[in-house]
Structure 1
Amino acid sequence: MRRLSARRLWACVYLAMFVTAASAQGGADSVLAALSLEEALVRTVSANPGLVAFGYQIDAAEGRLRQAQIPPGPELDAALQDVLGTNTHRGVRSAEATVSIAWVLERGVRERRVSAARAGVALRTIDAEIARLDVAAETARRFLGCLAFQERLSNAIEAVRLAEETVAAVRARVEAGSALEAELARAEAGLARAALDQEHDEHELLSAYHRLSAQWGDTVPDFSSVKGDVTALPGIEPFEALLARADGNPELARYMSRQRLAEAELRVAEARSRPDWRASAGLRRVEATDEFVLVGTIAIPLRTSGRNLGHVAEARADIARTEAEAVATRIDLETALFVLHQEFNHNLQLAAGLRDEVIPRLERALTDTRRAYELGRYGYFEWSVVQGELLQANSDLLEASVAAHQVVIEIERLTGVQAALPPAPQRGVP
């Protein structure tokens, strides 16, 4: 199995820019280590079950290349004539025995077959590279999914903590006679719902770990968490720069290889339009005169009208089809890059607005609202609304960050090169 080239690891390696210390979800006494993205990539490229078949496809293509390089073998021809006749040809007195070697004059066909086989090896190699690239990108997505669920679980734990504080505060007011039992029941119901949400995120996180480990063939994860900070958003190159790099798209490279293969097959079809010649040379024994003589022949087939024209037309149509598909793919690629670039900028602005504007204000509002509730100036409804808005804002920030990273993975998978820039410093962070 061929190793994935360093250039082809872009779709995942960019995530290493935001890999940091291990997540707190693992626990201080965990016996399992936290997994980094680099470790996940190495495991995937070296052990992904789905990549095994591509290695065999390359081996098969190389076998066809070796077969194409083998010239046609010579033929040994033995002939005996003028025997067992009558009169002067009675018995073997006038016999003539000829032993000759014949071979085919391919007239350039084998060289063209070899060129076509080499193009086939190149195409299978690119197919394998694309498969490795896709598998590595999928590992990046699943790794990102693990980071996202770790953060969702952290948010759920925070929601439970806030719900517990709310229940304690409401219970104190109920016991003091300044609040109704109904408020306590609502607070306890909110706590129960928060606990259910936490349980949901816990089992989703465990499933995400299993989906990630399946990328290298493990059915049971041997890690307790993944390392990274999903909210550390990278920058991205301008759209014009990404468009200039579009030629690095692996699918376009595949079309180039397919075009070379089709052109090589056209040359083979054209060469086969010329019939092969057969030549032979040998010795003849003339029994009547007790002599040996040299003999030689050459067979030139008569040209048949329309010979191999169908294969030539098919090869030319394949070339034209490949060129048309490459143009269509290029148009789709440019459109997808533009849409993804716009989506990334939107998610970046959304995350910045939530982080710098919305969440700080809601945190202050929550502190003031709780103080007002404890003083009897606000009711439970006002307090719970602010809590819900803050939790939702934190969730929206997480989802916007995840979406931004997903867009970068897709952009880099489309371009075949790294597009992410180092994360921009957050407001107030040196």
Structure 2
Amino acid sequence: MHRIIAAVLAAAACASSLQAQTDRTVAPAPVLTLAEALDRAGAASPFQDAAAAGIRTAEAQRRVAGLRPNPSIVGEAENVAGTGIYRGLRSSETTLGLALPLELGGKRAARIAVADAQIGRAGLQAEIARADLRLRATQTYSAAAAAQRRVEVAEDQVGIAAEVLRAARVRVQAGRASPLEEQRADVVRISAEGALERARRSAEAASGNLARLLGMPVGQLDRSWFDSVPSTDMARRTASGTLTAAAARADLDTATAQVRLARSQRDPDLTVSASARRLEQTNDVAAVFGISIPLAVFNNGRAGIAVAEAQREQSDAQRRIALLDVEQDLATAQAEAENAATTARNAAGPALAASTEAARIARIGYREGKFGQLDLLDAERTLLETRTVAIDALAAHHDAQARLERLTAAAPLPKDDQR
């Protein structure tokens, strides 16, 4: 008796061990959340590297703009290789000195102002790149999650079609239905299997796009995030304070600085020189001083100022156009988000529950001979359409929400205004 009990306990322990191993083997893969995907995209994306390189370029241009003109070494030899007393080098006069350009009109300060404006624009461009990357990662994640949900629906439809085919065969074998019902059910099964194959192929492509963006393999995505429909803030959002508005203002500031630079170019620069001249005949040395001023005869700088002012007016007009475009895009994206949310709530809520119950009743009634096959197929088609509409509406809602977040992304405060 004791041996039997011991054997039973050992078998139970062995079964428990095997069950634990099986549980560990079939443990579900970790779910990749949207927050994790966004962090990974920010760390692995080349778009961030491009934006950082743009900032370094602007900072290097700032250093270049602050440099003064280089001096020049001046060397001259006069009264050389002539005739008479100027034959050979007996009467030569050799001059060696240094010439230094002097910038007037605030050209250096104007260049620095342009460079500072470009640095600010580069910083905004880096923020825009981060916001664009967030939008792209969110849209790619949403597309991959929607593709996985479509695969689940397609797999369910294959199972349902197989069940309907079995029921049709039973009815045909019992002589309660025509063989046409079995053929029709087989066609539905074949169509469901083809839809499943297409859904899996689309899901592989969507997951591959997300994996390339994140630089890592992608498994199961967060289904709870995709199925959620958070309430959207109906308050009207404006373009003020957004990245787009800040970028347009930065472009206008750069154009204004270019006007100041063009005006500074009207003041001619001076070049002063100091040299030492040696006279070969007497072996004496004399100092030579010089100054040169360009004459603004053909180009007085007015044309350059006109170009810069026209570009500033163009930049100001483009700023106003950008604000109008953002306001329109905001209104459109918010309406689309609300419409998609309403559709998703209806399709994934009462409509889905009603169509699921109708399909269940139709299956039971068909097996019991109370409903015809056409009634069953119509109920199944309605259920499939409802589930498909729900997935499409959820994908559209998440896409519109992501575009809203991108359009309303706040610009960083200037360094002087940060606390």
Q: Give the shorter-chain TM-score range.
A: 0.7 to 0.9
CA displacement, residues 151-186 of structure 1 (integer Å, 9 cap, x when unaligned): 111111111122122222222222222222211221
Q: Which residue of 261, 265, 278 maps to 2:258?
A: 265
Q: For 2:28 and 2:94, how far apart are their aligned partners in 1?
A: 86
Correspondence 1:43 to 2:40: yes
Q: Which residue of 39, 45, 59 maps to 1:62?
A: 59
Q: Which residues of 2 match residues 239-278 of structure 1 at below 5 A?
A: 239-240=235-236, 242-243=237-238, 246-278=239-271
Contact 2:252/2:319 (8 A) holds in 1: no
> Is the partner of 2:256 in helix, strand or coil?
helix
Letter in structure 1 aligned against 2:45: N
Correspondence 1:313 to 2:313: no
Larger-Rg structure: 2
Contact 2:229/2:345 (8 A) holds in 1: no
Match of 1:383 in 2: 376
> Is the partner of 2:97 in helix, strand or coil?
strand
| TM-score, normalisation: structure 2 | 0.81
Correspondence 1:363 to 2:363: no
Contact 1:239/1:341 (8 A) holds in 2: no
Correspondence 1:101 to 2:121: no
Q: For 2:410 and 2:118, how far apart are their aligned partners in 1?
A: 25
Correspondence 1:126 to 2:124: yes
CA separation of 1:184 and 1:99: change in aligned 2, threshold 3 A:
same
Q: Which residues of 2 match residues 218-367 of structure 1 at below 5 A?
A: 218=215, 222-229=217-224, 230-240=226-236, 242-243=237-238, 246-283=239-276, 295-304=288-297, 307-367=300-360
Deviation larger for 110-119 or 270-279? 110-119
Match of 1:13 in 2: none
Q: CA deviation at 1:88?
A: 11
Deviation larger for 51-60 or 393-402? 51-60
Q: For 1:361 and 1:198, how far apart are their aligned partners in 2?
A: 24
CA separation of 1:305 and 1:177: change in aligned 2, threshold 3 A:
same
CA displacement, residues 266-285 of structure 1 (integer Å, 9 cap, x when unaligned): 11111111110112235566
Match of 1:423 in 2: none
Deviation larger for 93-102 or 103-112? 93-102
Match of 2:3 in 1: none
Q: For 2:204 and 2:153, how far apart are their aligned partners in 1?
A: 16
Match of 1:17 in 2: none
Contact 2:61/2:115 (8 A) holds in 1: yes
Contact 2:210/2:218 (8 A) holds in 1: no
Q: Which residue of 212, 215, 227 maps to 1:214?
A: 212
Match of 1:372 in 2: 365
CA displacement, residues 172-211 of structure 1 (integer Å, 9 cap, x when unaligned): 2222222222112211221121111111111110111111
> Is the partner of 1:70 in helix, strand or coil?
coil
Letter in structure 2 aligned against 1:146: A
Q: CA deviation at 1:41?
A: 2.5
Q: Which residues of 2 match residues 74-89 of structure 1 at below 5 A?
A: 74-79=71-76
Q: Which residues of 2 match residues 408-427 of structure 1 at below 5 A?
A: 408-417=401-410
Contact 1:279/1:299 (8 A) holds in 2: yes
Contact 1:369/1:378 (8 A) holds in 2: yes
Deviation larger for 162-171 or 103-112? 162-171
Correspondence 1:164 to 2:162: yes
- Identify which of structures 1 and 2 has the higher relative contact order when contacts are C-alpha pairs closer than 8 Å and 6+ apart: 1
Contact 2:263/2:305 (8 A) holds in 1: yes
CA separation of 1:106 and 1:167: change in aligned 2, threshold 3 A:
same
Letter in structure 2 aligned against 1:236: T
Q: Which residue of 70, 73, 79 maps to 2:70?
A: 73
Q: For 1:80 and 1:162, how far apart are their aligned partners in 2?
A: 102
Q: For 1:89 and 1:340, how far apart are their aligned partners in 2?
A: 87
> Is the partner of 2:220 in helix, strand or coil?
strand
Q: CA deviation at 1:49?
A: 4.2
CA separation of 1:177 and 1:74: change in aligned 2, threshold 3 A:
same
Contact 1:170/1:183 (8 A) holds in 2: yes
Q: CA deviation at 1:294?
A: 5.4
Q: For 1:352 and 1:106, how far apart are their aligned partners in 2?
A: 69
| TM-score, normalisation: structure 1 | 0.79
Q: Count the aligned residue pairs.
A: 386
How well do the aligned residues superpose, as a CA RMSD in angstroms? 3.2
Q: CA deviation at 1:293?
A: 6.2
Q: CA deviation at 1:308?
A: 1.7
